[in-house]
Amino acid sequence: MTVKYKTQSTCSRSITFDKADDGTITNISFEGGCNGNLKAISILCNGMKAEELVSKLKGNTCGFKNTSCADQLARAVEQA
């Protein structure tokens, strides 16, 4: 299943990824945001199970914001 998530309070505008029936997350891409960092997050998280991804990234913040692109990815995966 392909998921597109509209982010909130981050530089990226949206996140798209595929979630397999077994909970594996692949093909993660961000629209907007810090290109290099978000490419790295996408590569590092590719093939991860949803539960592991959420446990590693949820709650990560950026600067003075209460969220980050990584946190938004975790929230998107959690909702999917």
Candidates 27, 10, 31, 1; CA nearest to 75 is 10
Spell out the long-range contacts of 18-22 with Cβ–Cβ below 8 A and sequence spacing 24 or more: 19/50, 19/77, 19/80, 22/49
pLDDT of residue 44: 98
Do residues 29 and 58 lie in contact, with contact meaning Cβ atoms separated by under 8 Å? Answer: no
Instruction: Give the C-alpha distances (Å, rounded to integers) separating 1 from 13, 15, 53, 54, 69.
Output: 20, 14, 17, 18, 21
Q: What percent of the chain has pLDDT over 90?
A: 100
Q: 28-65 pLDDT, tens per residue?
A: 999 999 999 999 999 999 999 999 999 999 999 999 99
pTM beyond cutoff 0.85? yes
Give, as one character, the DSSP assignment of residue 58: T
Per the CB < 8 A criterion, the answer to whether 54 and 74 are in contact is: yes
